[in-house]
Amino acid sequence: MKALTGLLYTALAIYLAGWFLGRWTGNFALLLFILTLVTFAYWLAERLIFKPRRERAAEAFIAGDAARRAELARKGIERVDGDADVTRQRLLAQPWWLDWTAGLFPVILAVFLLRSFLFEPFKIPSGSMIPTLLVGDLILVNKYHYGIRLPVINKKIIANHEPQRGDVMVFRYPQDPAVDYIKRVAGLPGDKVAYKDKQLYINGQQITTSPLPDYYDDSELRYLKQYSEKLGEVEHRILLDERRGPGVMPIYDYPYRDNCSYTMDGVECTVPAGHYFVVGDNRDNSQDSRFWGFVPDENIVGRAFFIWMNFSAPLDRIGRFN
């Protein structure tokens, strides 16, 4: 078992190193599920096999030591070298390979359940949601808001709230489900969504925007036009880049492509059943549904709602956001 445990840890180290170096794409949910199963197997074996075996060995030692001391006492030898209690504790102690497997099972199980069904942390990798979310923001995602889903396969088993316009949603990118994206929900199933001349329309109604002071983009060292926008019940800020034209073009032949029509001044789509149309708040610097289509319900991960840290931004950003 010691050799097997060492082999498992070696395989885990190789997998994580390759993931970190970009040699392959990792699936943390699957990895955590496998670690939970493996450590559970060790934990069960510890309770049913290894611990009873050590206890029997300790009891046999204590019985043998007591018999030896009794025999020596019968011969008139009262003082016997050795501390039987120390030896007993050593016999009962877990070896390192059990301590680092069975001993970690409760912790890994707690993390697995918390991450799978309650809250999951994410790090914002790009600027598509500026100014709402900055690059490097560490956020929490509510995993049960849109319903309870089985981990790894992401199948919904208990319904809860449906996504609403204005929600900031994390989902698995339809073109590569191993990658998580974060965008704002604009269109619900059945909605007709249009983005024309840099204006958003839902079912023929233009979404109201109000100008705000220009936003300074640290990454590009320039100012962008900033507006307040209200989607559903959610009021938030968006950015527009005056240097970019209004047109958008599809980058993939995505499912339900026939539901969208592209022109020189934008795009208009009818959202199919069981799907959502999402956009970034940094409108001219976001690849979203305008370019790659709709988000199916089965790809939803959860609703983002809280910034808990950004090591390169002011601490007053910590808290809930719209």
Q: Tell me the Cα Rg of the chain.
A: 29
Q: For a pLDDT cut of 70, what percent of the chain falls above it?
A: 99
E strands, 101-259, where? Answer: 119-123, 138-142, 148-149, 156-158, 168-172, 180-187, 192-196, 199-202, 205-206, 209-217, 222-231, 234-240
Q: For a pLDDT cut of 90, what percent of the chain falls above it?
A: 63
The verdict on whether 75 is a catalytic residue reads no
Residue 154 has pLDDT above 90, yes or no: no
Mean pLDDT of the chain: 90
Which pLDDT value is given to residue 300? Answer: 96
pLDDT digits (tens, 9 = 90+) for 28-54: 888 999 999 999 999 999 999 999 999
d(CA 202, CA 204): 5
Which band of pLDDT confidence, cut at 50, 70 and 90, is reported for residue 157?
A: very high
Residue ranges of domains in the chain, CATH in brackets: 2-112 (no CATH), 121-311 (2.10.109.10)
pLDDT digits (tens, 9 = 90+) for 230-260: 998 999 999 999 888 888 899 889 999 999 9
- Tokens representing 312 are 């390169």
The verdict on whether 123 is a catalytic residue reads no
Which band of pLDDT confidence, cut at 50, 70 and 90, is reported for residue 20?
A: confident
pLDDT digits (tens, 9 = 90+) for 278-293: 999 999 999 999 999 9
Nearest-5° Cα angle at 89, 86 to 91: 110
Given the residues 116, 183, 198, 289, the one annotated as active site: 183
Given the residues 128, 143, 198, 289, the one annotated as active site: 128
List b or e across 172-185, with b for residues whose CB sees 16 or more CB atoms inside 10 angstroms: bebeeeeebbbbbb
d(CA 220, CA 9): 43
